[in-house]
């Protein structure tokens, strides 16, 4: 049955294959025996191949090994984790920071921790797929508002019970269209209607706002 469904998906060109790079990430990479200009990378700041970052990685691996050996809540929290999170919190001007191994895991791990069944999530229609998955995993009621349409969002906020816990979810910089969320207006609506505001700033951090601190500071 699975093989049949897989073949049907392949016939509809719905399957994808991994194409490995044969070089480090950079503007020019080697793929399938050819040198090509890479326009699909998220390494906006060029840190992946930066000599200082590579050297720091080598030194950390030599001192602490190639893996933590356990979940961080047990015995897998190491000084490099704490140093990085302290630096990120200082950079962002927040009380603390918590790192995940990917942006996808950050969203599916954080959103269900912020809101649960009985709550209400109002998310921008063009939110990244990881945000949508995080919203669904929370078991909260999930509604979308039209892309960057604060009027539509306000109408949804006005219709819900005032005391109902509500989470507004948006990207700061939308990765597919490259436009910005109207964060000042979203923040105002969140305060007016006593909702929480969750911003995925994966594509804004480092490139947007004063000193690259992201769209929230832009």
Helices and strands (H and E) in the chain: how many: 7, 6
Average pLDDT for the chain? 94
Q: Which residues contact 102 (CB under 8 A, 6 or more apart)?
A: none
Q: What percent of the chain has pLDDT over 90?
A: 82
pLDDT in tens, 109-146: 999 999 999 999 999 999 999 999 999 999 999 999 99
3-state helix, strand, coil in the chain (%, to 5): 40, 15, 45
> Contact, 157 vs 190, CB < 8 A?
no
Q: What is the location of CATH 3.40.640.10 in the chain? A: 103-217
pLDDT in tens, 152-194: 999 999 999 878 999 999 999 998 889 999 999 999 999 999 9
pLDDT at 43 over 70: yes
Question: What pLDDT is attached to residue 1?
Answer: 83
Query: In the numeric block, which tokens belong to residue 151?
Result: 């009027």
Residues 103-217, CATH architecture: 3-Layer(aba) Sandwich (3.40)
> What is the C-alpha to C-alpha distance for residues 206 and 103, in angstroms, rounded to an integer?
15
> Contact, 123 vs 144, CB < 8 A?
yes
> What is the C-alpha to C-alpha distance for residues 174 and 169, in angstroms, rounded to an integer?
12
pLDDT in tens, 143-153: 999 999 999 99
Burial 137-152 (b: 16+ CB within 10 A, else e): ebebbbebbeebebee
- pTM for this model (two decimals): 0.90
Question: What pLDDT is attached to residue 57?
Answer: 94
Question: What pLDDT is attached to residue 218?
Answer: 58
């Amino acid at each position: 049955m699975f093989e049949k469904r897989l073949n049907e998906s392949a016939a509809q060109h719905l399957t994808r294959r991994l194409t490995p790079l044969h070089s480090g990430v950079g503007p020019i990479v080697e793929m399938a025996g050819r040198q090509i200009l890479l326009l699909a990378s998220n390494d906006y700041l060029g840190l992946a191949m930066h000599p200082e970052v590579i050297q720091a990685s080598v030194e950390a691996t030599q001192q602490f090994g190639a893996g933590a050996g356990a979940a961080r809540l047990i015995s897998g929290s190491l000084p490099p984790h704490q140093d990085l999170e302290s630096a990120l919190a200082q950079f962002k001007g927040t009380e603390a920071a918590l790192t995940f191994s990917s942006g996808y895991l950050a969203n599916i791990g954080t959103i269900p921790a912020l809101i649960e069944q009985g709550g209400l999530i109002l998310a921008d229609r063009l939110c990244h797929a990881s945000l949508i998955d995080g919203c669904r995993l929370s078991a909260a009621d999930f509604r979308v508002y039209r892309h960057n349409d604060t009027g539509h969002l306000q109408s949804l906020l006005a219709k819900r019970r005032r005391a109902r816990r509500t989470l507004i979810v948006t990207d700061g910089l939308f990765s597919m269209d490259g436009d910005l969320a109207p964060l000042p207006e979203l923040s105002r609506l969140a305060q007016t209607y006593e909702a929480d505001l969750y911003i995925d700033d994966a594509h804004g951090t480092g490139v947007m706002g004063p000193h690259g601190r992201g769209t929230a500071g832009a």
